[in-house]
Amino acid sequence: MSVRWLGGMLVRGRFMDVRGMIHLPTDDDDTAAVTVEVRADSIRTGISLRDRHLRGPLFLDAARHPIITFRGGDVMRLPTHVTVPGSLTIRGVTRTEELRCSIDDAASGRLAADVTLSRRAYGVGVPTGIRRLDPLFVVIGDEVRIAIEVMR
């Protein structure tokens, strides 16, 4: 996960507790399925104070919304990559997002996927009331890039 801060610096983090399942079709009647569950409180950026803020009520609100989920079903093969559209739920907000996937080497089974999303669309780091005047929220970029790597 990465987001721009102060317009240029890139802040990176990782979710340490991620579980999922990928079902690939074995015949024409079978459908693909992708399910991912992420513990919101497992975010780590290397700075504990920032991690506490990200887990707190203004950002991921991990106490009230402990699980981030992605559920996809259709796999669309394009000339350069594969996409998996699905429902992503963060902080109780569900939106359709599309994972862009590539398989590096069929023998190794390594699958890489990424998605760029708007944190504001999910209510992450969107202050209300007097907190809207806090300059902290102005310097945090809206686009968050999520990179996923799955090893067989």
What pLDDT tens digit does each residue of the chain (152 aa) get?
788 777 678 889 999 999 988 877 666 666 778 899 999 999 999 999 999 999 999 999 999 999 999 999 887 778 888 888 999 999 999 999 998 887 665 566 677 889 999 999 999 988 777 777 777 777 788 899 998 887 76
Kindly report the pTM of this predicted structure: 0.85
Longest Cα–Cα distance of the chain, Å, equals 56
Looking at the 3D structure of the chain, how many domains does it have?
1
CA angle 149, 104, 43 (to 5 degrees): 10
Q: Enumerate the H helices of 3-116 as residue ranges.
A: 48-55
- Tell me what pLDDT residue 107 has: 61
Domain that includes residue 108, residue range: 2-150
Q: CATH code at 9?
A: 2.40.128.110
- Extended beta strands in 6-92, E state: 9-12, 14-15, 18-23, 33-39, 43-44, 67-72, 76-77, 82-90
